[in-house]
Structure 1
Amino acid sequence: MAWEDTPEVTTSLRPSTTSGVHRRGRHRARIPESIEIIPTHNGVPRSGLFKARRASTWHRPYRLGLLVLDYGAAALASFTASQYDKSDAGFNSQTLLVLVEYLYLPLAWIIVLWAHGAYDRRYLGHGADEFKRVVRAAVTMTALVAFVAFSTVTNLSRVTVGIAIVSALVYLLIGRYFARRFLIVARGRGRARNRLLLVGTLPEALEVYTAVSRAPGAGMMPIGIRLTEGYVNTRGLTTPVPVFVGREVMSLVRELGADTIAVCGSASNEPGELRRLAWQLEGTGIDLVVAPQLTDIAGPRVHIRPVEGLPLLHVEEPTLAGLAWLFKNFMDRLMSGLLLLLMSPLFLLIALAIKLSDRGPVFFRQSRVGREGKTFRVWKFRTMYTDAEERLAHLVEQNETDGLLFKIRNDPRITPVGRFLRASSLDELPQLINVLFGDMSLVGPRPLPADDGDFLGDVRRRLLVRPGMTGLWQVSGRSELSWDDAVRLDLYYVDNWSLAFDLLILWRTIGVVLARKGAY
């Protein structure tokens, strides 16, 4: 930790205006004879053609790579569609057909993707917005092709057009996915990151630091904290990045080489100061982000509603009802029934292996707490010896987790077959029975034992939805998480549920299961 002190300490976003004045006020500040109205060092450029270059430049080569990938994906989609239709597709010239398939259509895809913001640096590399914009571009391309075919009276094969659009969407999403994986690897090596200067009180800045550190894929690397207040009570504390007191923001940005300023918590509640900081940053290429005191609330629930120039953040209630919720319940029953039929041979093999290992029962059933506090009996393949419950009292002191959980990395009660089942997550498959009966969902908070307390405080909120076979905690570390982190992730899921969020968790579950991350 490094501290930077100056004789004058300012507790606002403004640089100190008492330069040259003694602390006890013995000398008056010199009053300037004139005031410069138009700043010369910054400000909005006079022409949009000569905007200042961004201090952060990682997105430029990445965007160029996406352009090449997207063009190739669209051209490959045209080739795929052409294999299903060997006709001239309504074109009189073979040369014209080739130009349409491998030049005009790919360029049209690039233009539509650009128009939908699929190359906007704010959405690249993190979150689902990038993929949503690609899907919207596919819808626009469908309408555009239909309009062109209708207006030019071109006889196009509907099957061919459908194959071209769908295959282009699939290829684009696959290309973007692998491009993002490449970017995440690069960020893990310290590249393609935004250098972040946090401005605010120390608790607020550390909260933002913890949040961005939990998502390395977002590419934000805090490099310093500039305190706005509370500096007296924070001296001597250990911090993960240097802390500065009383420094002028712009000079600190230049010294640290920051390309982004994050105004945290209560510091963002000073509209005049925040506006003046934004003015200072105009024309410098430095990004300004604001982290309000709204933690663990996802973007779809937050809307900005300006009233007389005052930006009001409107926070919507969680969506735990309606057609989307009914569709989730329907898909839970349908998918669980299909998976039980398809996996029945695997169930028989696992049951046979458990029986041959120690002759005990195949299934383990335990009371768990479900939606609205109702208890149910969860189904799992038995992974422990039959006397596991009796041996638990002798192992309590070896517990490696906190809160309501009990986990030991090398639990002696687990059978050899059970160890394999746990590592591969196959022991969870019988919970499909609970999903079919409506006690559980495919995605949701983790189901906890019924005898582990009354779920007081914030923990009770997780009972608003059905527990899930997989969830946000499973794809974020599983048994390696602390109890507080597990509760935080479960509550985040409840507060920000959506069908797209469920699909994202199911997709991430595949990778976590294959990697056997946090399973023991």
Structure 2
Amino acid sequence: MQRVANGALNVDEQHPGRPADVAALSDRDVRRKRPPALSFLLRLVTLRKLLRIASLLALDFAGVWLALFTALLLKALIKGEHDLASGVELASGQTRDFLAFAYLLTVLLFARSDLYADRPRRPGLTRIVTSLFQVTVVALIFAVVSGQEFSSYYLFYGTLGFAVLYVSSFRWLHTEVTGFLLSQAGYTRRTLLVGSGKHIDQVAHALAGGSGREIEMVGYISLTPRPDNGLRSLGALADLGAVLERDRVQEVIIADPDFPQEQAVELVDTCHQRGVEVHIAPSTMEILVQRAEFVPGQSLPLFTLKPPVFEGIDFAVKRTFDLIGAFVILLLLSPLLLTISIAVKLTSRGPILYRSARPGIGGLPFDCFKFRTMRNDAGVTDEELELLNEADGALFKIRDDPRVTTVGRLLRRFSLDELPQLVNVVRGEMSLVGPRPLPMRDFERLEEWHKKRYLVLPGITGLWQVSGRSELDFDDLVRLDFLYLERWSVALDLVILLKTVPAVVTRRGAF
């Protein structure tokens, strides 16, 4: 009869081939009562969790209160019926009327979006904006269904705008402050990577791109010839148990989608026996499955990867967003547009606007509007220009293009020549955010897999513009387009638009 010790099977008898250190460890239940000092530390972990949730709830309360109060105060002052003192009193009273419902709705939808999770799992700005947008829509529907009447719906979209500003700012500050405190306290997660050489290198590079405050990479264990990635090799997989104890590892990341199943089970068991967490870095297919739709009624579980096109309600929402955004931007920038038009007309011969034939949705060409930035007759042949091309793949880029005028160079440097494309958005030929339309010369040189980006309307800005722009090679740019198509949302469009401004002002990667 197999011997049982503290609720666990004797591993020597159950798994005779397992290393002795693992067998000895398995003779006791890892869930047994821990020493007093360790129990105290675990209580600190629980306390830290409670403090995290309480502080985020308090900041969200402050953000929602300020958003409602600011929107209502601004409305009272704009109407001109109240001075500042009476406006503050009125806005405070109205804020109390709406606050409980708005805050409860915000907390529920934030919790659903994991916005109160621990730092590694807590989403960022995109999820915050999406959740606040959902709060606004649900509140509006509830108000309409319950028969409440409003002179305008400013309360909803005004509060949404201020909520995005306040809540995201407070949460960013919370992340920075708590990250600094944890860093000063020396809090890190000692992490070990396990997998094959190239996958270890990729995951290590991705983790290094984060804040770096909570992960201390102790090294790696590779199943294949060891990569030269700057990390410390800690031996073979058979040494895992000793490595976990010697280097006080707190979490193991399996950095290989093809990790052998039998060894993975053994690895997880070894880690869990020592209270070490195990994470798995996702493969490309696993990332896609997150967007998949389950097909019921099959003997084998199947998932359908839908084509990344905007249709039905998605298209209606995106088109409405584009129209409202384009009209607002055109109105706000009308003095700048007039100034640029005069400058282009006075400094060189030719029309103010340049019509460039570009492939649109489905590859069908349309006239893409731009402010003219070149002389009408540059006196340079196509062959000479091709020799000057500084981009790779299908792209054509020249840093010091001899055809560009002085005003045109300034417009290009800050991407101001693209502003007339707002008219293309109004006409339904483009979107505010989407894959950039390439000139016909570049389109004709695309490979077939590149053309998937033309399943949707091209955009004025996109992930290209906020992710390095001309510093990236063409294949990287196309992959960014695919990523945008897979993860599109109104909130993502809004985030890209907001990030476009600093990307243009700093002129990162632009020429």
User: After TM superposition, is the score higher than 0.5?
Assistant: yes
Shift of 1:485: 1.2
- What is the rounded CA distance, in whole Å, between the counterparts of 1:119 and 1:468 in structure 2? 34
| SS in structure 2 at match of 1:384 | coil
- Give TM-score, length-normalised by structure 1: 0.69
How many residues matched?
A: 468
Residue 126 of structure 2 aligns with which residue?
Answer: 128
Q: Which has the larger share of helix?
A: 2
Which residue is 1:175 aligned to? 167
Q: How does 1:338-357 map to 2 (within 5 A)?
A: 339-340=329-330, 343-357=333-347
CA contact (8 A) 1:198 1:261 kept: yes
Unaligned runs of 5+ in 2: 1-14, 74-86
CA spacing shift, 1:481–1:399, aligned 2, 3 Å: same
Whether the 8 Å CA contact 2:102–2:139 is kept in 1: the answer is no
Name the stretch that deviates more: 104-113 or 404-413: 104-113
Corresponding residue for 2:351? 361
Q: Which secondary structure state, in structure 2, belongs to the residue aligned with residue 301 of structure 1?
A: coil
Work out the CA distance in 1 between the residues paired with 2:485 and 2:109: 32
**Matches of 2:426 and 2:91, distance apart in 1:** 48
Q: Which residue number in structure 1 is paired with residue 410 of structure 2?
A: 420
The equivalences for 1:302-451 within 5 A come to 302=292, 314=303, 316-320=305-309, 321-333=311-323, 335-337=325-327, 339-340=329-330, 343-388=333-378, 390=380, 393-394=383-384, 396-451=386-441
Distance verdict in 2 for CA 1:128–1:394, change over 3 Å: same
> Do the aligned partners of 1:260 and 1:287 also contact (CA within 8 Å) in 2?
yes
**Under a length normalisation based on structure 2, what TM-score does the superposition of the two structures give?**
0.70
The 5 A counterparts of 1:135-284 are: 167=159, 170-171=162-163, 174-180=166-172, 183=175, 191=183, 196-213=191-208, 224-228=219-223, 230-231=224-225, 234=226, 238-247=228-237, 248-253=239-244, 259-267=250-258, 270=261, 273-282=263-272
Asked whether the 8 Å contact 1:435–1:441 carries over to 2, the reply is yes
Identity, % of aligned positions: 30
Residue 140 of structure 2 is aligned to residue 118 of structure 1: no
Amino acid at match of 1:468: G
- Alpha-carbon offset, residue 396 of structure 1: 4.4
Deviation at 1:434, TM superposition (A): 2.5
Q: Could you tell which deviates more after superposition, 490-499 or 136-145?
A: 136-145
Q: Is the 8 A contact 1:73 1:168 kept in 2?
A: no
How far off its partner does 1:518 sit? 2.2
Report the aligned-residue RMSD.
Answer: 5.2
Shift in CA distance, 317/264, structure 1 to aligned 2, threshold 3 Å: farther
CA deviation map 1:397-420 (0-9, x unaligned): 554432122334444543332222
State the secondary structure of the residue aligned to 1:511: helix
Distance in 2 (alpha carbons) for counterparts of 1:184 and 1:299: 32
> Could you say which residue in structure 1 is the equivalent of 2:499?
508
Q: Distance in 2 between matches of 1:497 and 1:400?
A: 31
Residue 10 of structure 1 is matched in structure 2 by: none
Please report how far the alpha carbon of residue 475 of structure 1 lies from its aligned counterpart in structure 2 after TM superposition.
Answer: 1.2
Report the 3-state secondary structure (helix = DSSP H, G, I; strand = E; otherwise coil) of the residue aligned with 1:479: helix
After superposition, the Cα gap between the structure-2 partners of 1:257 and 1:415, relative to the gap in structure 1 and judged at 3 Å, is: farther
Greater RCO, 1 or 2 (C-alpha within 8 Å, sep 6+):
1
Separation in structure 2 between the aligned mates of residue 59 and residue 251 of structure 1, nearest angstrom: 30
